[in-house]
């Protein structure tokens, strides 16, 4: 029985998923990487081959690639071309390259053509940004102010009008914070994940300091997807929602972990000196995880547990997790780097205190040395001897 659907699992952790990648979107993101490289590195040999073979000029970035014929790769790149252009942003220099309506230079997500308030003439559609400034090198508002909404006009006002002295227009990858293309940013551009983006809520589970298996349990808990009697009843798998341990009327998650008689009997405050916030934070995760474990053990294995034992078990595990989390991990600074290389053995190394020569010329090892080389060597008379060399 699936508790959480696959789409939710493929949602980023900050939106309540497990952050698995969808393979089809990942494939498109990798294709986008090829396409982006074609745009920014047209002189690279492999890109030159493609551009020459399919007769594409990249003096200005075309709106689409000719894909009527070509290899699978070329056609796939053609299909992703439009989306790659969606991630492209322009810095205005002299304004001669950037198309006023079709390139992203004002808004972050779509070209101005998507925000037009009324249809305009085709001749105006092909104009460059440089065509929309007047003789004083300021925006010529009367040419476009009636065609786009006010909020976009404010954004245009915040952009420096193009000037020849600013140099040529240049572009960058607008989806990442530093303008560099990353497959991760392309994936995010293409993906439209489900779930709600309440980062603090989902962080509750993932920021819990302890074993990952408990974090995943907390994640299920936050989704409300434990197989309680209420949940099973909703799926028509049991006839009653009753708690099998105390005969309570509806066994849902809160009831199992807080209100059930077996849960209420457990006193975590007894014999506990540690009252720090950190202790109780870890203790909470361990407690709900173990309560669920015992609930299942009693139900399916007919186990019986004494509440004092359960409280002690939770405390011991909490202290164990805290002890491990306070132990320093072997960091980079503590790592000792040693260069390992082979050194030719000298004649004296053939016989050491670790070995003993037998009458027939075999070396017998008395104690295991740190490293052994087996050698077949010729002596001065060309006779082969097999030797074990200690190093």
- Cα Dmax for the chain: 108
Measured between alpha carbons, how far is 131 from 161 in angstroms, rounded to an integer?
11
Measured between alpha carbons, how far is 223 from 358 in angstroms, rounded to an integer?
73
Q: Kindly determine how many residues on this chain lie close enough to bind Zn ion according to the rule CB under 5 A.
A: 5
- At closest approach, how far in Å is the CB of 260 from Zn ion? 3
Query: Whole-angstrom distance between the N-terminal and C-terminal Cα of the chain?
Result: 59
Q: Is 248 in the site for Zn ion (CB under 5 A)?
A: yes
Q: Is 223 in the site for Zn ion (CB under 5 A)?
A: no
- Residue tagged 């245009």 (tokens): 156
Q: Is 253 in the site for Zn ion (CB under 5 A)?
A: no
- At closest approach, how far in Å is the CB of 304 from Zn ion? 14
Q: Is 260 in the site for Zn ion (CB under 5 A)?
A: yes
Identify which of residues 259 and 349 has a Cβ nearer to Zn ion in the complex.
Answer: 259
Number of Cβ within 10 Å of residue 148's Cβ equals 20
Contact 33, 181 (CB under 8 A): yes
- At closest approach, how far in Å is the CB of 108 from Zn ion? 53
Q: Which stretch binds Zn ion (CB under 5 A): 51-59, 96-104, 128-136, 236-244?
A: 236-244
Q: Which of 245, 281, 319, 387: binder of Zn ion (CB under 5 A)? A: 245
Q: Is 229 in the site for Zn ion (CB under 5 A)?
A: no
CA nearest 251: which of 212, 217, 299, 283? 299
Q: Is 298 in the site for Zn ion (CB under 5 A)?
A: no
- At closest approach, how far in Å is the CB of 237 from Zn ion? 19
Spell out the residues 6+ positions from residue 250 whose beta carbon is closer than 8 angstroms to its own. 229, 230, 241, 242, 243
Q: Which stretch binds Zn ion (CB under 5 A): 164-172, 215-223, 231-239, 243-251?
A: 243-251
Q: Which stretch binds Zn ion (CB under 5 A): 147-155, 252-260, 294-302, 309-317?
A: 252-260
- At closest approach, how far in Å is the CB of 238 from Zn ion? 15
- At closest approach, how far in Å is the CB of 86 from Zn ion? 54
Measured between alpha carbons, how far is 310 from 180 in angstroms, rounded to an integer?
53
Measured between alpha carbons, how far is 258 from 254 in angstroms, rounded to an integer?
6
Identify which of residues 195 and 248 has a Cβ nearer to Zn ion in the complex.
Answer: 248
The neighbouring-strand residues paired with 375 are 387
- At closest approach, how far in Å is the CB of 290 from Zn ion? 16
Q: Which stretch binds Zn ion (CB under 5 A): 7-15, 26-34, 103-111, 257-265?
A: 257-265
Phi, psi of 385 (to 5 degrees): -130, 135
Identify which of residues 233 and 245 has a Cβ nearer to Zn ion in the complex.
Answer: 245
Identify which of residues 211 and 248 has a Cβ nearer to Zn ion in the complex.
Answer: 248
3-state secondary structure of 213: helix
- Say which DSSP state 335 is in: P
Identify which of residues 223 and 245 has a Cβ nearer to Zn ion in the complex.
Answer: 245
Contact 67, 75 (CB under 8 A): yes
Q: Which stretch binds Zn ion (CB under 5 A): 158-166, 168-176, 248-256, 302-310?
A: 248-256
Q: Which two tokens stand for residue 194?
A: 């489900």
Measured between alpha carbons, how far is 79 from 67 in angstroms, rounded to an integer?
8
Q: Is 243 in the site for Zn ion (CB under 5 A)?
A: yes
Q: Is 246 in the site for Zn ion (CB under 5 A)?
A: yes
Contacting residues toward Zn ion, per CB under 5 A: 243, 245-246, 248, 260
């Amino acid at each position: 029985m699936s508790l959480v659907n696959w789409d939710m699992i493929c949602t980023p952790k900050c939106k309540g998923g497990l952050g698995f990648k969808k393979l089809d979107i990942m494939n498109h993101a990798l294709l986008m990487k090829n396409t982006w490289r074609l745009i920014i590195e047209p002189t690279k040999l492999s890109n030159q081959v493609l551009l020459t073979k399919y007769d594409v000029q990249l003096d200005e970035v075309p709106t689409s690639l000719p894909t009527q014929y070509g290899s699978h790769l070329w056609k796939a790149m053609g299909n992703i071309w439009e989306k790659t252009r969606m991630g492209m942003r322009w810095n205005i220099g002299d304004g001669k390259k950037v198309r006023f309506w079709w390139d992203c230079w004002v808004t972050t997500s779509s070209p101005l053509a998507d925000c037009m308030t009324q249809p305009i003439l085709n001749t105006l559609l092909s104009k460059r940004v440089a065509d929309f400034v007047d003789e004083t090198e300021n925006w010529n508002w009367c040419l476009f102010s009636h065609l786009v909404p006010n909020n976009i006009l404010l954004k245009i006002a915040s952009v420096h009008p193009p000037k020849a002295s600013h140099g040529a227009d240049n572009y960058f990858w607008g989806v990442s914070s530093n303008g560099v293309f990353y497959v991760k940013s392309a994936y995010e551009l293409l993906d439209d994940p489900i779930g709600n983006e309440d980062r603090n809520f989902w962080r509750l589970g993932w920021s819990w300091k302890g074993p990952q298996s408990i974090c995943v349990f907390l994640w299920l808990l936050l989704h409300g997807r434990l197989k309680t009697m209420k949940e099973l009843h909703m799926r028509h798998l049991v006839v009653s929602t009753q708690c099998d341990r105390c005969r309570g009327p509806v066994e849902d998650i809160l009831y199992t972990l807080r209100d059930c008689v077996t849960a209420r009997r457990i006193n975590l405050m007894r014999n506990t000196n540690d009252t720090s916030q950190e202790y109780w934070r870890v203790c909470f995760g361990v407690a709900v995880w173990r309560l669920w474990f015992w609930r299942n053990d009693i139900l399916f294995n007919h186990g019986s547990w004494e509440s004092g034992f359960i409280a002690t078990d939770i405390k011991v595990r909490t202290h164990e997790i805290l002890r491990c989390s306070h132990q320093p991990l072997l960091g980079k600074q503590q790592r000792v780097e040693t260069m390992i290389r082979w050194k030719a053995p000298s004649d004296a190394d053939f016989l050491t205190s670790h070995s003993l020569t037998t009458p027939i010329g075999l070396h017998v090892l008395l104690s295991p040395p740190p490293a052994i080389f087996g050698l077949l060597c010729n002596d001065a008379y060309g006779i082969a001897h097999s030797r074990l060399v200690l190093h």
